[in-house]
Structure 1
Amino acid sequence: MRCVDAVGRFAAASVSPSSDPSCLSWSQRARQRLADFDAELAQRFDRHEPVRELNRDRSAFMDQLVGEAWQMNLPDSPVCLIAVGGYGRQSLYPQSDVDLLILIEPAERRTQADAIAKFVAMLWDARIPISHAVRTQSEAAQACSEDITVLTALMDARVLAGDSRRFDGVQSDTSTEHMWSESAYFSAKREELRTRHARFNDTAENLEPNIKEGPGGLRDMQTLRWMAMRVLGEPGLDALQAHGQLGADEHATLMRAGANLQKLRFGLHLIAGKREERLRFDHQRALAAHLLHNDEASNADVERMMQGFYRSAGLIQRISERLLQRFEEHLQGESEPLAIHAEFDALNGYLAARDPQWPAGNASRIFELFDTWAGAPELPGLHSRTARALAEALPCVPAWSDADPAMRAQFMRILRGPDAIRILIEMAKTGVLGRWIPAFANVTGRMQFDLFHVYTVDQHTLMVLRTLALFQTGEGVDRFSQAHTVMPRLRKPELLLLAALFHDIAKGRGGDHAELGAVDARDFCIAHALPPADVDMVEWLVRHHLLMSVTAQKQDISDPDVVARFAHLVADRERLDTLYLLTCADIAGTSPKLWNAWKDRLLADLHVATRLALRRGLEDPLAREERIEETRAAARALLVDADAAIGRIDDLPSDALLRYRPEQIAWMAASIVTSPQMQVAVHAVDDIGHALEVMVWSPDRNGLFAAIVMTLDRLGLEVSQARLMDAAEGQVLDVFHCMPRESSRLVEMREVERQLRSVLAKPSLLEERPSRRAAQRHLRQFRLTPQIVFSGLSANRYLLSIVCNDRAGLLADVAAFLRMEKLRVHDARIATFGERAEDMFTVSLDNGEPLSEERLASLASALEPILVGATH
């Protein structure tokens, strides 16, 4: 409770314990006593004593301190002092607030104001983080009627001092007979839970999860307890077993998962030294080390700790969903069942097994449940009794390697069904998929300690499946330009689903996860009686699931040789289409921020170019000049009524005609017409306007690349790719693909054009300087040793490859360095993977002379501190 009424505010402002030596002395001693007691609790925590006991003991010690301060100021007073919230239920973590309610009669406000003020000030001076409210009985009841969180805090209340009859009166005034009936309370708390979950994207599998408030967190367990108290009149979760609402296995699972979260939260408070509920990156490694009693923790240690959190949160979330449904059934009663299968009914809008003994140890009946559910998509979930029976029967589900052919055939029937993706996701959520495919269970809750993979491995896999479902329905056309047209062409969609299931299944085993996963996929497919060609297809997709992404993002896909090599590896159109869909879903399912219009275009262009190469035949690759002429002719056709622009097509570099589509060439030519010597043009790559294509047509000058990059950086744009090409008569064509650094922010295209023109109009570009920024908090936890390699491309051109931590302004800093060292950039390929930047630049000296090995080594040494963010 954070509300402080007028009495509380006046007290804080007008009275200080420093005016009373005895109060000040007590506060100083209490501060030290509490510090000593907390140090003792920390030692007990390190000895693995249950956190529940530590919290209860800390609460009891706090009772002692609060009671002493009360007796010093309000001895024998009828004013009622009440512990509420977490303090009230005797669950006080090292940095938790001490929530207090002071019940006072109206006539006592004036006479007791100074005493209450001194009491509060003493506790504050003792560094006890109290949160208090001073109310009359009627005010307390009114606050509860207006705010369900105030009522909920009072449900955990206990009297510390004063006349307890006042609190009895508040309890009577706030009973279900007077406010917040059982059904009203349940509906409000359930909506509160849904809203809270939505703030965390309805998943516990966030990179920096909130132990208390996130889905599956401790607040969920508290919500269940409050519902049990208000809806059923039971004292807490323990009593739900006797009430028949919670099975013994469910209760034991809930208690184990809750104890793990309590341990993590207690340790987090110790590590952070403040009230922190989020497992932030900068605490994860320290907490893992603390729990292991080590000075440092490896990435693997962090990942194991976080896997324990995700699995516990997932269990709490699943059991919570069942209990919420049972509370709802208790309030509403059960409707008449509607038969939909020989074994299953629709009951209260959920799928229910008719047999009370279902599945009676028969795993085949479990698969029959999911097969039936596939034909009833209108049912959002399993009936709570069936969900409990399924959870208790999970041990009878065999691994696929131990199952008989009939069960394997059942699984394949589900996989080939019309609603296979939804059912696979439900099988994963209920734990059935992890039993059937033990390797999937191994990656359940497995996080990767980096910024690239936002989800745990199992949740990433489910996100990939959900994205594939979008391709099937045709949703998300604005994000995926071609996927919805490619998906219906698949002859056997189940092969794509199998590849999605297995593509990351070997993460964390050591070695190449794609190679290991391919072996798993092959064995699985053979055991499930897939034809040899289908087995080969799934195995190939898993082994090469990164091929298309790497080719599109790291190579020049406008180069016919690159496309030809990729086409040779893919070999046929069916593999190409399936790999394309898997790649799109894999990238989009890795992080909400990773997929963008530029990646969509890259993959779509590579897909189209490879289809043409396969159609033409791998022995007859399209010649460079033939492709240039095709693009020139198509661009002219687009400019049929613009003769001046048609003439400008021939001014563009031949590399541009090789690299860009006809509509891009037409746009460039039309832009140059209005300003033949220097032109800047910007257009949106997507309909939203986030991804921008920036064209600069200019005389070649020293510092041109650096000046452009620094200007884009100041505008809040990050460069995804840069193409720099020499044209005739000393002109250059530079094309940049950019995204806003903040995804929610739209950058005005006209402003980009205006500022670039202003900079490029300056007599000298060598005075531009990159912006300075503090390192982002996230990136401090993921330090990479920079890798800098110079490779010779010709007598005087070199490929500079950089791998380092990404950060805001990195490209601008690198560009400034290259300019300072008199290195001209001819091409740039920019790729970012979470915290990792992998950039390549084709460079040469301004004067065209070759660089010695000593000079290259010197450049690499000078560049390294810049990559780690040092001032240059």
Structure 2
Amino acid sequence: MASPDKFNYLPKAAELVKKSQSADGLDRLKIYKNYLQAGLDALTKQFQKGTSIIQLLRARSALIDHILATSWSQFSVHSHSALIAVGGYGREELQPYSDIDILVLLNDDSEEAEDSNLELEAWLAFLWDIGLEVGHSVRTINHCEQLALEDISVATNLIESRFICGNRKLLKGLNERIKQPDFWPSEAFFKAKLDEQVARHLKFKETSFNLEPNIKSNPGGLRDLQVIQWITLKHFKTSSLHDLIKYGIFTRREYRSLLNGQQFLHRVRFALHVLTGKREDRLLFEHQKKVAEWLGFEDHDNKLAVEHLMQRYYRAVMVIRNLNELFLQIFEQEYLKLGKSAQIIDLDQDFYLHNQRIGIKTPDLFLRKPHALIKIFRHIALNPEIIQIEAKTMRKIRSSQQMVNRHYRRDAINISYFKEFLSTKQLTSRGFALMKRTNILGAMIPKFAQIEGQMQFDLFHAYTVDEHTLFLLRYIIRYNKSEYGHEFPLCRKIMKTLVDPTPLYLAAIFHDIGKGRGGDHSELGAVDALEYCHSIGLDQHISELVSWLVRNHLIMSLVAQRKDISDPDVIESFASKIPSILHLELLYVLTVSDIRATNPTLWNSWKESLLKELFLATKHYLTQSTPRANQNQMMEDTRQQVLEQFTKTGESIEPVRELLSELGNDYLLRYHPEQIIWQTEQLLSQPELPYVAIKNHRSQAGTEVFIAVEDQPDLFASITALLSQNHLNIQAATLFTSPKGLCLDTFIVLDEQGHPLSYEQRIQEIQDNLIDGLSDMDNSAISVSRAVPTRLKYFTVKTNVEFINDDNSPFTTLEITALDRPALLANIGQAFRDCDIEVHSAKIVTLGERVEDTFTVSDRNHQPIIDKNRIEKIKEHLGQAINA
């Protein structure tokens, strides 16, 4: 047990003994609390001075050692037992608020008195009272051995146990047992720890790049490093990772990289513990800014301090993850000799496949044939049986990456192999993933290296820019595989007919490459893409196609989610920006994949249906040989479709004809024929008003709520409030008022999980609630109270209200950007009421913490809002309502 006096900045050990020896009760409690706090204060000061984090963790362990040993003696706990530190505490890697894992070790033949058990309970209660979170176990040596043989986690704790006080012989006896050859032999221990790691990585979807990572458990986190430590300790009987150099597992450079990554993560975790005042291993958004400040990061170069912190973090975990995999593979092959009997398959004259790993046949391959640095990834991309790169080959690739310089990138042979890789319809995304992880992708495309580990401090993007790009490529390549064709059949169809995927792959790589540099990342990326395509000699039309896709990669999503895509003018305007069917098809695949890869919570069936509808409508427009129909023709076509549908029923269509005439021509332009047929069926059933009908939208992607009610003030505000009160998220709204004052409003909604409604009981409950609320508008509460999620409090989004008047439109377009919060739309609806604004349609877009909603509005007389003074007053009122 190390004494805290070894670390001269900690409070003196003798002070605690002297002050607490004669104290009792509350006085003793206060003395220990003060000593513990003084130790934490001293460690915090040293941290801010830049003292080695490894030393600080050992100092914290020494401080706790002294507190435990001194109090153990004063409570006279189990005089014939031993107090043992286990887990991270046993390794002397104790963070400020980590659990204190201890083992009270008893002799197998000991018969402790009942009063000793009471003393142990009193001692443990005392430790909790002074502020230590103690995880304890009381076991005999035999019991320890039995449990350890059954549970790998118990065995792991025991092999890194450390004596604190008591009977030292007991720990010696335990160590003799656990060092026996049959106690978790190296191979069994290795396989068990590997299984643990695989299961843990799966919980985090195999990515190290979540924007709110768990420093300890995420792939590449401290737990990955501890796996190396545990296997090293078990097999080589050493706790020093430096010894792995002499065993030929790590080079000196790799060891230093591992150590640097470890120390950085420890410093982040230390800061996180101190700032939160508790055991916290998740680097949540609410903590990231404070941690960045504590670690000395500053805002500059178009990046926030928090973004600099996180980029450093992601690069550290990538190093640890890579070295973890390298260690496991070398240990498995060289020390356990596993997989030696697996068949070696020749892939070509340079590469072989062994045990699902690709390797090089000669150590000097990359020197003799530099293009092999690219060729290997084409093998990986086309062969799903290749899971990994052999450790020695991986090391050769990394040590050869400096070859990929300007001269390498200009060499005709190297370029031809890279172009071949890009033009291949890949069957697995591992080619791109491993090319990125070995730094070859960043070397081949230097601008890509600049975004590695680049994060954006928002809720919209769930991953770093480079990891998001890999997810995007993974989705695109997934469309090549027939077994996934049912997921997105339209994307699958496009990819199947695509002759050369090069433009799509390059557009995916470059679409966000301009982020972090300031300015419009789409424009910056388009310029970069064009320059790069020219540099590798792609044809002009392909280069321009890639650049166009990058420049316009957001446009399809914006139109689908913010515009009325049932309006032929919207389709015509969008189609005018699309040079060809190929541009449209690739843009569609890129857009679908981009949204899916941005954040798993953002993609829903409604967005899918909007994009598909926009794609099909635009494709039809681009392929038609005659000019589009005018509005009169469209109205007549719609009227005819509706009448023909009712004619099939054999009943008189006169009531239908009369109803359509009563509703007017605008109604026929506002809704899709299928919606008109359904709404007409509802209205002809002679319902009492207000009337509510609910069904799945024709796309099956959302739930359509149809409301028929007499026109009255504040209707939009009331309906949005009622829908919000029922925990529904509005995606879109179409609002229509007939000449006789009948309001026919349709809202597309999803539940709180982003799904259409599916349970009849829930649908009936919502229907009843809406009818009750609309039947008593005077007494119906239109306010909504729903708690603001904690994470939203740490983001700022500037509220922006923009009025747009177009000579071709009879109404005004109102665009609102604001911080998302529960019931925001209901608050906006109330502001519309206060400002005498009529709402005709709405498009609701939520992008993480930000909403970008678009409304078609008018005054009460159905005239556009053009008076500048009035617009300024409305903006002010809306701003107050949004930020209330």
TM-score by length of 2: 0.90
- The answer to whether 1:786 aligns with 2:799 is yes
Aligned length: 851
Query: Within 2, Cα distance between the matches of 1:281 and 1:438?
Result: 30
Deviation at 1:443, TM superposition (A): 0.5
Q: Which residue of 2 aligns with 1:461?
A: 469
Kept in 1: contact 2:306–2:457 (CA 8 A): yes
Matching of residue 159 in structure 1 with residue 163 in structure 2 = yes
State the alpha-carbon separation in 1 of the partners of residues 475 and 140 from structure 2.
55
CA contact (8 A) 2:410 2:536 kept: no
Residues in 1 aligned to 2:298 and 2:469: alpha-carbon distance in whole angstroms: 33
Instruction: Kindly provide the amino acid, as one letter, of the partner of residue 95 in structure 1.
Output: Y
- Corresponding residue SS for 1:81: strand
Aligned counterpart for 1:674 among listed residues 685, 689, 693: 685
Deviation per CA, 1:525-547: give whole Å up to 9, x if none.
11222111111111111111111
Query: How far off its partner does 1:772 sit?
Result: 0.7
1:371 corresponds to 2:358: no
Amino acid at match of 1:79: S
Matched, 1:488 2:500: no
Distance in 2, Cα, partners of 1:374 & 1:813: 51
Is the aligned partner of 1:239 residue 2:230? no
Q: Secondary structure at the match of 2:148?
A: helix
Name the structure 1 match of 2:34.
32
Supply the AA of the counterpart residue of 1:865: Q
> 1:3: which partner in 2?
none
Q: Distance in 2 between matches of 1:803 and 1:756?
A: 30
Which of these residues, 390, 399, 402, is aligned with residue 397 of structure 2?
390
Does residue 533 in structure 1 map to residue 541 in structure 2? yes
Partner letter of residue 96 of structure 1? S
Q: Note the C-alpha offset of 1:585.
A: 1.0
CA contact (8 A) 1:401 1:527 kept: no
Deviations 1:290-322 (Å, cap 9, x if unpaired)?
222879999611111001111111221122122
1:81 to 80, 83, 92: 83
The 2-side partners of 1:459 and 1:319 are apart by 19
Corresponding letter in the other structure for 1:146: E
Q: Give CA deviations for 1:189-233 in whole Å, capped at 9, x if unaligned.
A: 222212222222221211211001111110110012112223454
SS in structure 2 at match of 1:359: helix
What is the aligned partner in structure 2 of residue 202 from structure 1? 206
Q: Secondary structure at the match of 1:292?
A: coil
> Which stretches in structure 2 are left out of the alignment for 5+ residues?
1-18
Output the CA distance in 2 between the equivalents of 1:456 and 1:400: 30
Answering whether residue 340 of structure 2 is matched by residue 334 of structure 1, we say yes
Is 1:260 the counterpart of 2:264 in the alignment? Answer: yes
The question of whether the paired residues in 2 share the 8 Å contact of 1:257 and 1:315 is answered with yes
Q: Where do 1:588-737 residues align within 5 Å? A: 588-616=596-624, 620-636=627-643, 641-642=648-649, 648=656, 651=660, 654-655=665-666, 657-658=668-669, 660-675=671-686, 678=689, 679-685=691-697, 691-737=702-748
Per-residue CA deviation, residues 553-573 of structure 1 (Å, 9 max, x unaligned), is 222222222211211111211
Q: What is aligned with 1:828?
A: 842
How far apart, CA to CA, are the structure 2 residues paired with 1:37 and 1:298?
39
Deviation at 1:234, TM superposition (A): 4.3
Indicate if the aligned counterparts of 2:722 and 2:782 stay in contact, CA closer than 8 A: no
- Shift in alpha-carbon separation, 1:539–1:855, aligned structure 2, 3 A: closer
Alignment equivalent of 2:575, drawn from 567, 588, 591? 567
- AA aligned to 1:762 is S
Secondary structure, aligned partner of 1:472: coil
1:271-294 CA distances to partner (integer Å, 9 max, x unpaired)?
Answer: 111111001111001111122287
**Are the aligned partners of 1:352 and 1:386 in contact in 2 as well (CA < 8 Å)?**
yes
Tell me which residue corresponds to 1:4: none
Equivalent positions of 1:385-464 (< 5 A) are: 385-399=392-406, 402-419=409-426, 421-464=429-472
**Distance verdict in 2 for CA 1:853–1:538, change over 3 Å:** closer
CA distance in 2, matches of 1:766, 1:702: 14
For 1:672 and 1:487, locate their aligned partners in 2 and report how far apart those are by CA, in whole Å: 45
Secondary structure class of the residue paired with 2:734 = strand
Further displaced range: 283-292 or 748-757: 748-757
Selected match of 2:759 from 730, 738, 748 = 748
Q: What is the identity, as a one-letter code, of the residue corresponding to 2:537?
A: A
Please provide the CA RMSD for this pair.
3.0
Question: Are the counterparts in 1 of residues 463 and 599 from structure 2 also a CA contact under 8 Å?
Answer: yes
Q: Distance in 1 between matches of 2:497 and 2:68?
A: 72
Q: 1:638 touches 1:663 (CA, 8 Å); kept in 2?
A: no
Residue 277 of structure 1 aligns with which residue? 281
Aligned residue in 2 for 1:764: 777
Change (3 A) 1:686 1:224: farther
Q: Distance in 1 between matches of 2:504 and 2:782?
A: 49
Greater shift in the superposed pair: 251-260 or 846-855: 846-855
C-alpha displacement of 1:58:
1.4
1:248 & 1:799 partners in 2: Cα distance?
Answer: 63
SS in 1 for 2:600: coil
Shift of 1:631: 3.9
The residue number in structure 2 matching 1:12 is none
In 2, Cα distance between equivalents of 1:205 and 1:644 = 62
8 Å contact from structure 2 (residues 99, 133) kept in 1: yes
Distance 2:174 2:590 in 1: 60
Contact 1:303/1:448 (<8 A) preserved:
yes
CA distance in 2, matches of 1:414, 1:196: 33
Higher mean C-alpha deviation, range 829-838 or range 178-187:
178-187
Q: In structure 2, do the counterparts of structure 1 residues 729 and 476 end up closer, same or farther at CA, with 3 Å as the change threshold? A: farther
Instruction: Look up the SS of the partner of 1:495 in the other structure.
Output: helix
Partners of 1:590 and 1:31 in 2: CA distance = 47
Moved more, 361-370 or 212-221: 361-370
* 1:23 and 1:122 in contact (8 A); partners too: no
* Residue 813 (structure 1) aligned with residue 827 (structure 2): yes
Q: Secondary structure at the match of 2:845?
A: strand
Contiguous gaps of at least 5 residues in structure 1: 1-16
- Displacement of 1:185 in angstroms is 2.2
Following TM superposition, by how much is the alpha carbon of 1:764 offset from its aligned partner in structure 2, in angstroms? 2.7
Per-residue Cα deviation, 1:444-468 (whole angstroms, up to 9, x for no partner):
1110001111111001111111111
Is residue 801 of structure 1 aligned with residue 801 of structure 2?
A: no
Aligned: 1:520 with 2:528:
yes
Letter in 2 for 1:562: V
Q: What is the CA–CA distance in structure 2 between the aligned matches of 1:33 and 1:555, rounded to whole Å?
A: 64
**Residue pair 2:375, 2:421 contacting (<8 A) in 1 also:** no
Residue pair 1:208, 1:279 contacting (<8 A) in 2 also: yes
Deviation at 1:664, TM superposition (A): 3.6
Percent of residue pairs bearing the same amino acid type: 33
Does residue 777 (structure 1) correspond to residue 783 (structure 2)? The answer is no
Contact 1:560 1:623 in 2 (8 A): no
Work out whether residues 750 and 757 of structure 2, in 8 Å CA contact, stay in contact via their aligned partners in 1.
no
Query: Is 1:46 equivalent to 2:51 in the alignment?
Result: no
Whether the 8 Å contact between 2:220 and 2:319 is mirrored in structure 1 is yes
